[in-house]
Amino acid sequence: MTASATVGRALRYAEGSARGLLHHHQGHGLSRVTHRRKLLT
């Protein structure tokens, strides 16, 4: 395996994990907002 292939795979993995973390945080933000609305009403 060449070094460039390893770097490409690492970049793809990092991009995927970063995207997963973003989605994870967005989901938590939404659930927190809806939970607050339920408490206010």
Cα angle for residues 33, 37, 39 (degrees, 5° grid): 120
CA distance 29 to 32: 5
The pTM of the full predicted model, rounded to 2 decimals, is 0.42
Q: What pLDDT is recorded for position 19?
A: 83
Extract the tokens encoding 36.
């607050």
CB-based burial of residue 16 (10 Å sphere; 0-12 exposed, 13-18 middle, 19+ buried)? exposed
CA distance 32 to 36: 6
Chunked mean pLDDT (size 10), the chain, 41 residues? 88 86 66 66 61
Sign of CA dihedral 24, 30, 34, 35: positive
